[in-house]
Amino acid sequence: MTTAILIIFCVVYAGMILGGLPFLQLDRTGIALLGAIALISVDAMSVEQAAAAVHLPTLVLFFSFMVLSAQMRLGGVYTWVARRVAELPLSPPQLLGALVFLVGALAAVFSNDIVCMAVAPVLIDSCRRRRLDTVPFLLALACAANIGSALTLIGNPQNMLIGQSLRLPFGGYVREALIPVLLALAAAWGLIAWQVRGRWQVAGAEAGSQTEQRAQDMQLDVWQAAKGLAVCVALLLAFVYAPWPREHVALTAAGILLMSRKLHSNKMLGLVDWELLVLFVGLFVVNAAFQQTGVSERIVADLAARGFDLHQPGPLFLATFGLSNVVSNVPAVMLLLPMATHPLAGPILALVSTLAGNLFIVGSIANMIVVDSAARRGIAIDWRRHARAGVPVTLVTLAICAGWVWLRLAALNAPG
């Protein structure tokens, strides 16, 4: 049975690397689900064992914040904020900086993927209206969304998983991540602005009439926006100060948002990324079966005997970066969570897996959303163009993170 489990595990993670399997119309979600089905079919796990392997609090938290993000999107908040910032009388480098820190702040609280989905079309139209090259701003949008989402335990799926699995305190994690994330956002802004170096303007006609602009501005629903913001503030306060389980509070908030006289529940639930939830379910089952074989413990022990102990911050940092760019950040985190025993392991996993997503387009769903949005507007961003910004941003921000880890280790090991 161990052999069957290992074969299924290897096939699933090969699919995570390739994004699909040869001759089959499967994406990563389909592969993970098929892997879980295969394990049950060959009696490697019972249905009850598979259900027990799913970490329900993480799924509940993730679903709840998808509903909150849907409320903000349907209320027109993202569009309204993005347009107001884009219309500020700022120079292009200043506008880029405002965009980076705004998107970083939004992604820290709401889903970074949905923030990119909502902001990208508005950003493209605004750049064209000002005759600005859209590509640097779109790259900054993707990088800032990834970096900003690392600030909290609700900014992205892997952080939710880490926070729930390791029981990390919400406020304590924010205090740990605040300085490296702020420095990383500033570095991303500086690097992208330096690459452009005065080549901000492009020739082209102004996009969109004033009538169209006013029509889009009217999409803001003040009541729905205020409702979403009020629930968001209440959630954050509860996470920081209340002793209640985060998943309970978030699910209650989602239920309140679904009770609306104007927004139909099918619109709200239609914006929930059900495929990502299924991906989580499949990977939970596959990884649980793999853990039961004992192979992972032997691999970790062999690596430790060779001087690469994944329970220590340095090796964990390197393994997180490497795996995140091979199998993607969520599967990487799931594989490495059993080794997260050091006091700094949770923040290291959360920060490194998120920052690593900027390296290549396929490293983050947010990157792919931005590139796809650009393509639909006739703007081509291939992997080379993305890498020219993504690679230096990733290396510099990870260097900042490594410096933070070194300082925190020095503080932990200091006498007294």
Q: What angle do CA 290, 365, 245 make, to 5 degrees?
A: 65
Return the amino acid letter for 125.
D
pLDDT for res 16? 83
Tell which residue, 365, 334, 269, has the closest CA to residue 54: 334
Work out whether the CA dihedral 320, 324, 329, 332 comes out positive or negative. Answer: negative
**Are 78 and 118 a contacting pair, CB within 8 Å?**
yes
At 239, the pLDDT band (50, 70, 90 cuts) reads very high
CA dihedral 124, 129, 134, 139 (to 10 degrees): -50
pLDDT for res 273? 85
How far, in Å, CA of 152 to CA of 129, rounded? 34
SS3 of residue 359 by DSSP: coil
Which pair of structure tokens corresponds to residue 298? 């032997």
pLDDT for res 100? 96
pLDDT for res 416? 59
pLDDT digits (tens, 9 = 90+) for 116-155: 888 898 899 889 888 999 999 999 999 999 999 999 999 9
At 329, the pLDDT band (50, 70, 90 cuts) reads confident
pLDDT digits (tens, 9 = 90+) for 362-389: 788 888 889 888 988 889 888 889 999 9
Tell me the C-alpha to C-alpha distance, in Å, between residue 254 and each of 14, 70, 149, 275.
Answer: 35, 10, 20, 19
Give Dmax over CA atoms of the chain in angstroms: 68
* Cα distance from N-terminal residue to C-terminal residue, the chain: 51
Tell me the C-alpha to C-alpha distance, in Å, between residue 108 and each of 30, 221, 286.
Answer: 28, 23, 29
Residue 410 neighbours by CB distance under 10 Å: 9
What are the residue ranges of helices labelled H in 197-293? 210-217, 222-241, 246-258, 265-270, 274-293
For the whole model, what pTM was predicted?
0.86
pLDDT for res 211? 38
pLDDT digits (tens, 9 = 90+) for 184-231: 999 999 999 999 987 888 765 444 444 344 434 447 888 899 999 999
Work out whether the CA dihedral 177, 185, 365, 19 comes out positive or negative. Answer: negative
pLDDT for res 17? 80
All residues at 6 or more sequence positions from 280 whose CB lies less than 8 Å from its CB, including other chains:
54, 58, 59, 62, 157, 161, 330
Which has the minimum average pLDDT: 75-79, 200-204, 302-306, 330-334?
200-204
**Are 8 and 293 a contacting pair, CB within 8 Å?**
no
Which pair of structure tokens corresponds to residue 266? 């099918």
Tell which residue, 402, 280, 293, has the closest CA to residue 351: 402
> How does 82-114 read in b/e, with b if 16+ C-beta sit within 10 Å?
bbebbeeeeebbebbbebbbbbbbbbbbbbbbb
Helix axes 383-413, 345-355, angle to 10 degrees: 160
How far, in Å, CA of 4 to CA of 81, rounded? 52
Element (H, E) at 116: helix 112-129
All residues at 6 or more sequence positions from 399 whose CB lies less than 8 Å from its CB, including other chains:
none
